[in-house]
Amino acid sequence: MLGVIGGSGLYKLPGLKVIEEKEIDTPFGKPSSPLIIGEVKGKKIVFLARHGKKHSYPPHLVPYRANLWALREAGVNRVLGIFAVGGINKLLLPGDFVIIHDFMDFTKMRKSTFYEGIYSPDVEGEDKVAKLLNEKKVVHIDVSSPYCPEMRSILSEVLKEKGLRFHEKGVYACTEGPRFETPSEIKMLDRLGADVVGMTGYPEVVLARELTMCYAGLCVVANPAAGIAGYRLTSDEVISLMKEKEDQVRDILISFIEKLPEERGCECEKVLEGAEV
Ligand code: HPA
């Protein structure tokens, strides 16, 4: 089943026929919002608001592990994260979509793994993930291809068909926030090869992967990054751009869900093979 994590400006899923709202607790705490279980085009999906229904979790305090664990408990094996981002690459314009293919992590204080060796909690379940946690294993996952190639290629197909401006590759730099970056930080990220910047893309992607889920990130460029536009950045600008894009995001999601095959045709599921020490 697909799980969708909505970012700033996306607190519910337009077009979703809601079946049930589920409050879940996990060994990693409470997720940022109840899980909204619903149906799109006859397929069951789950939606979760990353910052909470009322945007009460700042990027550095989002319960990323609880969110991913709650989705796992709901039966999710693929996750699509939606992000508002600042554009670093000069080719990116506000309103463009970017299907990221790699990330750089500049966060400072986030729990970014489920596998904490002797400190791992006991969990329920019989699968490999539960086994690794219950046996208190140390695990190093490969992130040579952090975003699911199958999901990325379906996203590309959908965006192409809809005639929307988009970029089929992009490097996402994740900063700690909650402040925006300085112009010098953006210049540095540009020189390092980042195309977009956001505050919530990490560790969501690696946590999903650690649970053997497929993960893709669909970014909407909400503003030129600091120092590029030459004006002051505001949350108002980000949220209002995301509101403007809401209908397009809904149409993309509906077509994406329609096209997503039932069986996974990628290698994401195998990430834990040979990963434990
Ligand atoms: N920087 C970091 N996060 C963001 C930005 C930005 O410019 N725009 C939207 N999210």
pLDDT at 7: 84
149 in a domain, yes or no?
A: yes
pLDDT at 13: 77
Residue 110 CA to ligand 1 center (angstroms) comes to 18
Residue 238 CA to ligand 1 center (angstroms) comes to 8
Nearest residue (CA) to ligand 1, atom 6: 86
pLDDT at 10: 78
Nearest residue (CA) to ligand 1, atom 7: 86
pLDDT at 117: 98
Point out the ligand 1 atom lying closest to the alpha carbon of residue 199: 3
92 in a domain, yes or no?
A: yes
277 in a domain, yes or no?
A: no
Low-confidence residues in the chain, pLDDT < 70: none
Query: What's the CATH number where 265 sits?
Result: 3.40.50.1580
This prediction has a pTM of: 0.96
Nearest residue (CA) to ligand 1, atom 10: 85
Q: What is the domain extent for residue 157?
A: 2-270
Residue 241 CA to ligand 1 center (angstroms) comes to 12
105 in a domain, yes or no?
A: yes
Instruction: Give the pocket of ligand 1 (CB within 6 Å).
Output: 84-86, 175, 180-181, 197-199, 222-223, 225, 233, 238
pLDDT at 17: 84
Whole-number Å distance between alpha carbons of 150 and 202: 20
- Cβ atoms within 10 Å, residue 145: 15
pLDDT at 101: 98
Decide: 180 and 233 in contact? Cβ < 8 Å: yes
224 in a domain, yes or no?
A: yes
Q: Is 67 helix (H, G, I), strand (E, B) or coil?
A: helix
90 in a domain, yes or no?
A: yes
pLDDT at 8: 78
Q: Domain tally for the chain?
A: 1
148 in a domain, yes or no?
A: yes
pLDDT at 277: 96
Residue 156 CA to ligand 1 center (angstroms) comes to 23
pLDDT at 16: 81
35 in a domain, yes or no?
A: yes
Decide: 44 and 5 in contact? Cβ < 8 Å: no
Give which of 92, 222, 223, 102 is closest to 165, Cα–Cα.
92
Residue 221 CA to ligand 1 center (angstroms) comes to 8
